[in-house]
Amino acid sequence: MTGELIGDCKYIQSKKVNIYYFILVRLSIIMSLDPNFVTKQERERRLQAAQKETKVAKTISIPISYWALLDQVRNKLGKKNANESIMYCIKEIAIGEGIES
């Protein structure tokens, strides 16, 4: 009886190892064939991140001297990029005009 039980345990363990190996091989094949492959968890994370902020593209046509001025504002305030600088300026103007608090 014990010999059969030990044999069965080894058989179950080998099956688990085979299934685990099969999953790993299949995942590596899927991910290596499609470089743009995104897991379900990553897709959900990206969707949640996108819902937090709405992005709109708009072309701004202003003279280069204003871009230089914006860059100076960015450097003085320590902002990361032009977008942050523009958002800061808009917010400050809105507060000054009494639109935003």
Please indicate, yes or no, whether the overall pTM of this predicted structure exceeds 0.85. no
CB atoms under 10 Å from CB of 5, counted, come to 9
Dump pLDDT digits (tens) for 38-60. 788 888 888 877 666 666 778 88
User: 85 and 73 in contact (C-beta within 8 Å)?
Assistant: yes
User: 49 and 61 in contact (C-beta within 8 Å)?
Assistant: no
Ranges of the chain whose pLDDT falls below 70: 1-17, 27-35, 50-55
The sign of the torsion formed by the CA atoms of 53, 57, 62, 64 equals positive
Residues belonging to the chain: 101
Whole-number Å distance between alpha carbons of 27 and 33 = 10
CA 32-37-40 angle, to 5 degrees, is 130
> What pLDDT is stored for residue 15 in this prediction?
62
> What pLDDT is stored for residue 46 in this prediction?
81
